[in-house]
Amino acid sequence: MRYLFLFALFLTSLLAQDLPTLGGYFSSVYEKSKTRERFTIDDFALLLYTQHTTTDFLAEFEAKDLYFKQQEPATMERCDIQFNIERLFIRHYLDASQTLQIGKFNTPVGFWNIIPINPLRDTISVVNLSLAYFPKLLTGIMYKKEQSDSSFLIALQENPGIDDGYNNFKVDRHYLVSLTLSNSNITHKYSLGYYETKDDTASWYGAYAFQMEQAKTRITFESVIRREKTETTYDLYLSSLYRFYPKWAAAFRIENFRAHYNRLLYNDTTTTTTLIHRPHPNVALKAEFNYFFQTRNPQWLLSISFMF
């Protein structure tokens, strides 16, 4: 890993006239429910990036769940600092409206999957949409064409992923086309994808996302459907954000999903209510209540996260 980091430093130094910028983010979560109580440092990442006139470069190394201490159902404590490659890509600007991107990057589907980290998102908990339906990371090439009120992209992967164990699906083939249409404060996103895992299981997925942004409110709807052999799974959620005071906001989300986790099929509806305080644009303090209707299990979460 350290050799990859030095290579990234060397490459960005070549691409930029000045030294590359070092940044990162940190996230910690306290969880309390009927069945579990624990504290987790769930995210620590280092980013190395540079922006040039025609070329950008970004390398992100993330340590996931590097520390947790659990009280229920059994007392446990673990510290495991292991950095993985979250993103590593070069983006070249062909002209003012066209870009070509090569490397490992977030699969550009919808809204959630392109800004999935705790300091940026509205809630502490994550939606199932970016976990169980398509690979959240893609190693390949992407072409994007942007206009004033629309954009189109196509992404192709025909190879094993970079650090491919650090992804929700281990794939060696992934194709995606996506169209974004915008009008004033409303955005629609349409995506269609196909991927094959390393055990030759093929899946199709389609996704639709809608977002309306105003001065004090934001409404987001996302849905995805996945077809594998003869089985269909899906996820959809509706969320709202209300900024009721400077640096304070409240978010609400309802989600219904049918998904496989550890080869078991789950079908549930969840609600999420979050209070957000941002004393600084790069800092987020959150308190959250989740309810799972299938298990009738309430869950409380507290979180501190920041970027640097």
pLDDT tens readout for residues 102-133: 999 999 999 999 988 999 999 999 999 989 99
The pLDDT of residue 16: 55
115 neighbors 130 (Cβ within 8 angstroms): no
Residue 15 lies in a domain: no
The pLDDT of residue 7: 57
Confidence label for 61 from pLDDT (cuts 50, 70 and 90) = very high
Residue range 282-295: mean pLDDT, rounded: 95
The CA distance from 151 to 60, in Å, is 26
Tell me the backbone φ, ψ of residue 281, rounded to 5 degrees.
-55, -25
Domain that holds residue 109: 90-307
Cβ neighbours around 153 below 10 Å, total = 18
Question: Which has more pLDDT, 176 or 11?
Answer: 176
Residue 30 lies in a domain: no
Element (H, E) at 5: helix 2-15
What CATH number is given to the structural domain containing 298? 2.40.160.10
The pLDDT of residue 53: 84
* Side chain identity, residue 99: T
Output the CA–CA distances (angstroms, integers) from residue 14 to 4, 19, 50, 189, in the order listed.
15, 9, 10, 36
The CA distance from 31 to 37, in Å, is 5
Tell me the backbone φ, ψ of residue 88, rounded to 5 degrees.
-160, 100
Residue 66 lies in a domain: no
Q: Which residues lie below 8 Å from residue 197, measured CB to CB, with a gap of 6+? A: 169, 170, 171, 203
Residue range 45-72: mean pLDDT, rounded: 90
Residue 207 lies in a domain: yes
Q: Give per-residue pLDDT as tens, 23-37.
A: 999 999 999 998 889
Share of the chain above pLDDT 90, in %: 77
Residue 9 lies in a domain: no
Residue 38 lies in a domain: no
Token representation of residue 267: 């079908």
Residue 44 lies in a domain: no
DSSP secondary structure of 228-294: ETTEEEEEEEEEEEEEEETTEEEEEEEEEEEEEETTEEEEEEEEEEEEEEEEETTEEEEEEEEEETT
Q: Give per-residue pLDDT as tens, 141-174.
A: 999 999 999 999 999 999 999 998 899 999 999 9
Total number of domains in the chain: 1
Residue 176 has pLDDT above 50, yes or no: yes
The pLDDT of residue 4: 56
Tell me the backbone φ, ψ of residue 214, rounded to 5 degrees.
-130, 180
Residue 221 lies in a domain: yes
Entry pTM: 0.90
| CB burial string 270-293: b at 16+ within 10 A, e below | bebebebebeeeeebebebebeee
Tell me the backbone φ, ψ of residue 90, rounded to 5 degrees.
-115, 135
